[in-house]
Amino acid sequence: MKRFNEFGLSEELIEQVAEYGIDTPTTIQEKMIPPLLDGKDLLVRGRTGTGKTFGFLLPAVEMLRADENRVKILVITPTRELALQITDEVRRLLPSEEKAVAIYGGQDIQIQISRLKVATVAVGTPGRLLDHVRRETIDLHSVSMSILDEADQMLHIGFLPEVSELMEVLPKDRQAVLCSATMPAPIKELSSRFLTDPVECYDDAAITIPDIKQTVFMTKARLKQETLVTILHQFRPYKAILFCRTKRRVDRLAEALTLKGYQCGIFHGNLSQAKREQVVAQFRNDEVQFLIATDIAARGLDIDGVTHVINYDVPHDVEGYVHRIGRTARAGGQGIAVTLATPSDEQLLLTIEKSLQIRLKRKTL
């Protein structure tokens, strides 16, 4: 197994990585870093927790020069939360925090314009990045590496047209990276359009989550709310995220639990950015006990102290399940994941079990 100092990275960057307490790359990082340092394009498939972010950030930061005041690295993400998370990682690797800027809707655009004047790394969501392009407040002609992260989530949210428009603006000779947990046909088509002879880096190893106790409670669709309330009484979560499949189901469940006296916040795409930031702050500060959300909260939302994740609706795919339950057991802690399932969900459960090579314990109340 290699160590980071075997890749030819600078001593300064290796020291920054060591401050994270890690000196051994993950499997996907071993596959990503050498070809990126050689200037190759990359097509990366790996599930959450495999280390993709460091895999593209280390080579990207390595090629930056301290005296540059132009955007050289562009990272496109599906959500504001993931953009902020990646920006924080970049800032910890760079000598100056001012060199990295997060670009997303809901924040004062004038602040972003000011920060873009000195930034070398821009991390943002497609809509707000395009807004800056149209205003001519971001110059992407000097970009030497573009990174499209969580591409399948872009597809799920409906951002692929904006992503394509952004990619068309970028220099043709830039280096490009596309990361995705899955490779549906639209993502493969996107990679064929914007990547040149990419090196394929796949890590399909099954994910084990030893610090999360996973249980499935079988119920009937008409009894779901009643079953959930019983589970809440039984488990007594200190702080929990409850996932629903749709925004409408989030709103209805939040209304029902609020009427029963629970302190709930909602989190989905119909909320303004300011409202989403407000409810996350309330949840982080223990002002609300339950955050009821769609899958938009499953990626990039990192909150300490989440004791339980409850899948009120079974997610549509394995990656969604892994991302959801990964919101608990953060920072080496332990967590509990509870899934409510009806008989019609059985095939989805079997798919999750087969892919993750686990057996989900089923219970009834």
Give pLDDT, residue 21. 62
Select from 45, 338, 294, 319 the least CA-distant residue to 207: 319
- Are both 4-203 and 212-364 of the same fold? yes
Give pLDDT, residue 47. 65
Residue 300's pLDDT band, with cuts at 50, 70 and 90, is low
Phi/psi at 292 (nearest 5 deg)? -105, 120
CB distance 341 to 277 below 8 Å: no
- The second-level CATH assignment, the architecture, of 212-364 is 3-Layer(aba) Sandwich (3.40)
What is the C-alpha separation between 321 and 219, in angstroms, rounded? 19
Name the more confident of 357 and 349: 349
Select from 253, 227, 221, 236 the least CA-distant residue to 289: 236
- Tell whether domain 4-203 is in CATH 3.40.50.300: yes
* Extents of the domains making up the chain: 4-203, 212-364
- The full 3-state SS of 167-193, as one line of letters, equals HHHCCCCCEEEEEECCCCHHHHHHHHH
pLDDT digits (tens, 9 = 90+) for 9-42: 988 888 888 776 666 888 889 999 999 999 999 9
| Secondary structure E strands in the chain | 42-46, 73-76, 100-103, 121-124, 145-148, 175-180, 199-203, 212-218, 240-243, 264-267, 290-293, 308-311, 335-341, 361-364
Residue 161's pLDDT band, with cuts at 50, 70 and 90, is very high
Query: Is pLDDT at 230 greater than 80 in this prediction?
Result: yes
